[in-house]
Structure 1
Amino acid sequence: MQQLILLLGVLFSFNFAHAAVWTEVNQWSPAWEDRFSEWVESDWQVDFFARKRLPNGQSNPYYGLRTDCADTVYSMRLIFAYENKLPFVIQDPTASGRTISNKMNRWDRQNELARLKNFLIYIYNMTSTKSLPNDTYPVAISRNSVRAGSLILTTAVNHHSWTIKEMLAIGVPHLVYNSTIGATSSAMLQERQSWPNPEWVFEGDATPTGNAGFRYWRPAEYLNQPAWKVPGYSEEQYKVPLKRWVKYSQGRLALRRETDEQLMARLMKVTCQGLQGRVSAVNDGLNALRSTRKCMPFAAYDTYSTPSRDQRIFDDYVTLRKTYRDLVVANNAAELSLDMRVRLNKIFPFIQETMAAETRKMAPTGVDGTAVCTTEYLSGQYIDLAEFKRRLFAGLISNNPMDEVQYRWGQLRGPSQRARSCQSWDVWVPNLKQD
């Protein structure tokens, strides 16, 4: 009897010592891909990592994980695979021809949840937007392939990515994503129901070699192979001129048309989300700035600067302005509600003129009854879309994390003395020549 107990103990120790992160029970199939898409649409929320409790009252096993843009994309696929005991396999970014999977056993002596968390952190450290092209492939612009669970990737120039939570009936993606994380960043993700600027998405290379655009996950057997070999590979999106890319894509993906009022309300909401999200990002930078008197090295500067974020907010303003101007020129603005027109006219007081002319003429505005997106950006200080637009278009807003708060929010024109004494990278300025 003692020998039997000893033998069982040895066998148990051997199995435990070689435990995979999780044991596969199911295999990916079209039906499982459909279930993955359904899960993303229903469960992939901005508070996925920030809520302490799940809807059923249980503790959230992913609470507190903080992810950048690529981490968010990989998490979406990895967590679903874990919860449904499916394989999770990606190409090893450090070794051609090799893969990384849930079969890893380097966390042998930990329980399954601890193994999972360590595996997630390992994947975060190993992967980035540079590795995403190896694990995904470009797809056709159709609702069969551009759906919940797929993603949008930029070229390496802007190194950003978004998960597609849902393709709305109006042919617009509901995106869940994150940006670079700082030391005090929230675990909350971000979201928007709008197209990113294709000029930014495909910047530098609008061909298949740029790897930008709509993408989906490669089956494991097509890792470490050319993307064109993956079933479903398509170059459709690279054949569309960037000026027409959004209109073409939305036309292919829409099931119904949104009204002009709905369109303008959605675009204002997206722009508002950009402004509100900037508050925490700038605060991260300000906290880092207060912690040292030295100049930031490149890595810290890259973490706390906001050139890409400010570019995206600017792009959202430009889209909002162009859409409203098109309605005005076509004499369709009268179809908007009076309240909508009053609010838009505060943001764009000289809509018939160029952006440059409007920027020169626009006077400072205060938060009043016509304000859109009133936001507390400093303790006790508020700004709305109109005043932030004025400062942003005038080049007053600083993306430089070596600038103090007055410069970051355009109360003073930078660079500050401290910023001038330190090296800067990727200083962003608005391009007003887009009319």
Structure 2
Amino acid sequence: MKLLVLVSFLISTTASASVWKANRSWTEQDEVKFSLFLQSEWAADVFANPQSDFYGIKTDCADAVYAARIVFSAREGLPVKFSDVTKSGSYLTQEMSRWDGLSPLERIKRFISYTGDLVSTLTLESDTYPVAINKDFFRPGVIFLSPILSDFEKRATGFHGGHAEYVKRIDDIGFIEAIASTSPKAVRTLSLNKNPYMAALVTRGGFRRWRQPQQFGVNVENLTGYSLEQFNIADWAPLKLITRRQIYQWHEAIRRTLRTRAPSFDERVDIVVDSICSLLTTRAELVQQGWSEVTKNGGRCLSADLADQYSTDSRDQRIRGSYFQLGDLYDWKKREDGDDILGSVEDAQSKLEKCRIQYWPGRFMNTWEIYPRVRDGLLESSASYAPAVRWGFRPKGTRDCR
């Protein structure tokens, strides 16, 4: 099936004064359909596959969250209403008429891009509300929001915040697969990940549900599925969940509510190993693409935006944290078994050896071979250095671009 080809669902006329015609209001059944859409139809390459009607749209994390809601709403003839930061008390809706004369699909694409330039994790705070952690309301289509923190909150936690992603799938052991874009804004394949690296730090974040257009102005406590229960589990307190163990325990409390069976130890380990494999695979792509841009640029350093796009600071932190998380799991398992020997990453060697990363065309390392480089801080995140430095084959000196 061609990726998200929605033209047949849209009104064919180009004379409409709106982006699309909304012919009814949202219902709870529509939310169920949106959940199924996120799970079954919203593909990771929706913006990066030339066969997709939405190929070429640039997104960051918030843009991608809004885009999915727009695409589904247009297909179903439902309204959208998002906070407009350009004017107090105003909203972005499908009734905008600035793209008259364009095809229905082109109007939607323009609306997605226009909305993306105005929305952010800040507007998501207003456009969503905290959701109950139960199987009735916690399903694909729920958003995890990490809002941008205040200066005080940043100092207290060491986190900056500013990320959003969808719950795409929940498996029978309660693990949540998230789908997300990232910064800076670019045409990219969305990432899929089951191993969360952040938890709710403040009540304006966490797992949240969309406000329907008719719900603006209504007290959130009266909205369907509203609950603050996620802030009453795993010893949650504001600005507290910052260590790997605290983050894991908070998500584990949520998983226990959602699962239909308990995971085995190997299943837990495999999820972390898969996460490491995915993160390093994408890192390899970024390193190759970044150095290719430097080469095409005559060896000159990249612009600030491009350097940011191909650098891997936050990704490298996640990779390092995921490796050490394996050590946490094996240590926990050995303590449960009454073993006096501490567990470590080395216990996962056989599993890590199974994932091979093509870190440069024709050259491979497995994720076990990469581990010592991560452990010893040899990976270089900056796109100003050659791949040999970025993978720790030679030490960092002066930057390799000019």
Q: TM-score, normalised by structure 1?
A: 0.75
| Match status 1:172 vs 2:175 | yes
CA contact 1:150–1:215 (8 Å) conserved in 2: yes
Compute the RMSD of aligned alpha carbons: 2.9
Question: Does the alignment pair 1:97 with 2:102?
Answer: no
Q: Which residue of 2 aligns with 1:132?
A: 124
Q: Tell me the CA shift for residue 226 of structure 1.
A: 7.1
**TM-score, with normalisation over the residues of structure 2?**
0.81
In 1, are the aligned partners of 2:273 and 2:352 still within 8 Å (CA)? no
The offset of 1:38, in angstroms, is 1.4
Q: Given the superposition, is the C-alpha separation of residues 38 and 387 from structure 1 closer, same or farther in structure 2, using an over 3 Å criterion?
A: same
Cα distance 1:158–1:310, how it changes in 2: closer, same or farther (>3 A)? farther
Of 252, 263, 267 in structure 2, the residue corresponding to residue 262 of structure 1 is: 267
1:44/1:26 CA distance change after superposition, 3 Å: same
Match of 2:33 among 24, 32, 35: 35
Say whether the 8 Å CA contact 1:306–1:399 is kept in structure 2.
Answer: yes
Unaligned runs of 5+ in 2: 1-12, 149-159
Match of 2:133 in 1: 141
In the TM superposition, what is the alpha-carbon distance from 1:182 to its structure 2 partner?
A: 7.2
One-letter amino acid matched to 2:319: I
Find the aligned partners of 2:109 and 2:299 in 1 and give their Cα distance: 35
Q: Distance in 2 between matches of 1:386 and 1:182?
A: 32
Say yes or no: does 1:417 pair with 2:386.
Answer: no
Answering whether residue 188 of structure 2 is matched by residue 207 of structure 1, we say: no
Residue 417 and residue 225 in structure 1: after superposition, are their counterparts in 2 closer, same or farther (change >3 A)? farther
How far did residue 158 of structure 1 move? 3.1
Relative to structure 1, is the Cα distance of residues 301 and 49 closer, same or farther in structure 2, using a 3 angstrom cutoff?
Answer: closer
Contact 2:146 2:161 in 1 (8 A): yes
**2:106 corresponds to which residue?**
114
Give the alignment partner of residue 165 of structure 2, picking from 138, 162, 167: 162
- Name whichever of 94-103 and 158-167 sits farther off: 158-167
- Conserved? CA contact 1:171–1:255, under 8 Å: yes
The list of structure 1 runs, each at least 4 consecutive aligned residues, that deviate by more than 6 angstroms after superposition, is: none
Q: Offset of 1:270 from its aligned partner?
A: 1.8
Cα distance in 1, alignment partners of residues 123 and 184 from structure 2: 19
What is the alpha-carbon distance in structure 1 between the residues aligned to residue 61 and residue 335 of structure 2? Answer: 38
Q: How has the CA–CA distance of structure 1 residues 228 and 370 changed in structure 2, closer, same or farther, with 3 Å as cutoff?
A: closer
* Whole-Å separation in 2 of the counterparts to 1:413 and 1:78: 47
Structure-2 change in CA distance of 1:131 and 1:182 (3 Å): closer
Larger radius of gyration: 1
The answer to whether the 8 Å contact 1:158/1:308 transfers is: no
Instruction: Give matches, 1:24-423, under 5 Å.
Output: 24-53=22-51, 60-156=52-148, 157-180=160-183, 187-194=188-195, 196-198=196-198, 201-202=199-200, 206-208=201-203, 211-223=204-216, 230-240=223-233, 241=236, 242=241, 243=246, 244-290=249-295, 291=297, 298-331=304-337, 348-349=345-346, 371-414=353-396, 416-418=397-399
Residue 72 of structure 1 and its aligned partner are, at CA, apart by 1.6
Q: 2-side partners of 1:272 and 1:224: how far apart?
A: 45
Q: How many Å apart are 1:89 and its aligned residue?
A: 1.4
Q: Secondary structure at the match of 1:382?
A: strand
Q: Indicate the SS of the match to 2:399.
A: helix
Structure 1 residues 350 and 193, CA, compared in 2 at 3 Å: closer, same or farther? Answer: closer
1:374 and 1:383 in contact (8 A); partners too: yes
Match of 1:377, SS state, is: strand
CA distance in structure 2 between the aligned counterparts of 1:383 and 1:224, rounded to whole angstroms: 55
Q: 1:292 to 1:97 in 2, by over 3 A?
A: farther
Shift in CA distance, 369/267, structure 1 to aligned 2, threshold 3 Å:
closer
Change (3 A) 1:267 1:78: same
Report the identity percentage: 28
Matched residue SS, 2:74: helix
Contact 2:293/2:302 (CA < 8 Å) preserved in 1? Answer: no
Can you list the C-alpha shifts for 1:256-306, whole angstroms capped at 9, x where unaligned?
Answer: 112222222222112211111112222333234332666556544433322
Give the Cα separation in 2 of the matches to 1:404 and 1:229: 55
Letter in 1 for 2:21: T
Paired residues of 1:348 and 1:386 also in contact (CA < 8 A): no
- Count residues in correspondence: 363
- Kindly indicate whether the alpha-carbon contact (under 8 Å) linking 1:140 and 1:236 is maintained by their aligned counterparts in 2: yes
CA-to-aligned-CA distance 1:53-101 (integer Å, 9 cap, x gap): 4xxxxxx322333432222211211111111111121111222210001
The alpha carbon displacement at 1:42 in A equals: 1.4
The Cα offsets for residues 369-418 of structure 1, whole Å up to 9 and x where unpaired, read as 9822111111222111112221112111111122221221122232x302
Give the SS at the match of 1:161.
strand
Question: Residues 391 and 87 from structure 1, CA distance in 2 versus in 1: closer, same or farther, beyond 3 angstroms?
Answer: same
